[in-house]
Every structure is written in C-alpha cells, then in structure tokens.
Amino acid sequence: MTEFEVQGMSCQHCVAAVTRSIQEIDPQAQVRVDLQRGRVAVESAQSNDAVKAAIDEAGYTVIGIATA
C-alpha cells in the first residue's frame, strides 16, 4: 500500500476523478481517498511513478509519497 499526498482535492468529483484515473492504468487497483487529509492510499501492480502520473493526469498534484 502506498499513500500519496495530493493537493487540489476538495469534493466527491475529485475522489471519482482520481479513482477513475488510477483504475484506468490498473483496473484491479484498490484506491482509498481521504479528502480531509489530502491523501490517496493505493494498492496497485503499477509503479508509484505510474500512479503519480495518473493522479497528475487527473489534474491534481502529488507532493509526497509514503509506502506502508
């Protein structure tokens, strides 16, 4: 499980956009978005760089990554 610190998320539309973007590169990815903390927890077969790129493509900025 990797946790991405993401700027710019503020509503359920943001949750849907980030989740959809990650699941486009890995349909089996598990995605949990915490709007209050600005965090996206992801379990994916894709690399952290690929997930970061997907989040960026959705229009949000990854400012930190932590693996658990």
Q: Which CATH class is domain 2-67?
A: alpha beta
pLDDT for 11-62, tens place per residue?
999 999 999 999 999 999 999 999 999 999 999 999 999 999 999 999 999 9
pLDDT of residue 51: 98
Domain boundary assignment for the chain: 2-67
pLDDT of residue 46: 97
Q: List strand residue ranges (DSSP E) for 1-68, in order.
A: 2-7, 30-34, 39-43, 61-67
Q: Decide if pLDDT at 68 tops 70.
A: no
41: which DSSP letter? Answer: E
Confidence of residue 67 (pLDDT cuts 50, 70, 90): confident
Q: Which amino acid is at 68?
A: A
Could you report how far apart the first and last alpha carbons of the chain are, in Å? Answer: 6
Q: How far apart are CA 51 and CA 3, in angstroms?
A: 11
